Amino acid sequence: MAREADRKTVLGSVWLRADPAQTRAPLSRDDIVRTAVKVLDRDGLETFSMRRMAAELGTAATSALYWRVANKNDLLELAVDEVMGEALVPADEGDWRDQVTVLARAAYEALWAHPWAPQLLASHAGLGPNYQALAERMLTILSSAGFKGAHLDAAVSAVFHYLIGAAVTDAAWTATVRRSGLGQHEWATAAGDQLGVGATTLAAYLSREDLAGPEARFTTGLRAILIGLRPRQLS
């Protein structure tokens, strides 16, 4: 029995354990996860705690949360997968590159809207059902386009590695600005010269609306990757 408990602990993910037993606890797991996303959006990852969650939910004891979620790490995994669900948009028009672009952009925009989520994806495997559903959709699109075997796996990995890498990089900039307590433009003005790029250039690099900004860079980089991919078997 002890060895079985240890094995479950070593697996290290909420998605690799059985769902909690049914209880009469007033809070549902879905309610807790949605509230966690709201708190993380508002306050960021650094100050997130089960105690803060209990206060947000109006319960005096954190033990009320543990009826539904085993620990903070499990809750963070659940919250990340909730965010990935925002990427599951219809993508059935155009050729395979158009379809992959729709899904990848939806995922990038979801991660941009919740900048704490890519921070967690850098240390948590994508084992949740929404992440897996997104991967399965990518796999289906690329398979239908003629990608096979190792080349199919490599193509899916290329898209996901680029998506997560871009999201993590942009989230790091967002977190740096947030920690300063300054607005984005104020921070760029104060930091640009010190970084040797100038305030105007740095402000453009950070601005989502600018043609040199993160969203435009992501779209251009994704296009370059997709142009380079061809549905052929790797030798």
pTM, entire model: 0.84
Phi-psi region of 159 (alpha: psi -120 to 50; beta: other; left: phi over 0): alpha
212: amino acid identity, one letter: A
Query: Can you give the pLDDT at residue 42?
Result: 93
Instruction: Determine the Cα–Cα distance for residues 69 and 74; give it in Å rounded to an integer.
Output: 7
> pLDDT tens, 102-152?
999 999 999 999 999 998 887 777 788 999 999 999 999 999 999 999 899
DSSP state, residue 160: H
Structure tokens at 30: 């879905």
Confidence band, pLDDT 50/70/90 cuts, at residue 2: very low
Q: Does the pLDDT at position 94 exceed 70? A: yes
Highest mean pLDDT among 56-65, 83-92, 118-127, 192-201: 83-92
C-alpha separations of 90 from 103, 130, 133 in Å: 8, 14, 12
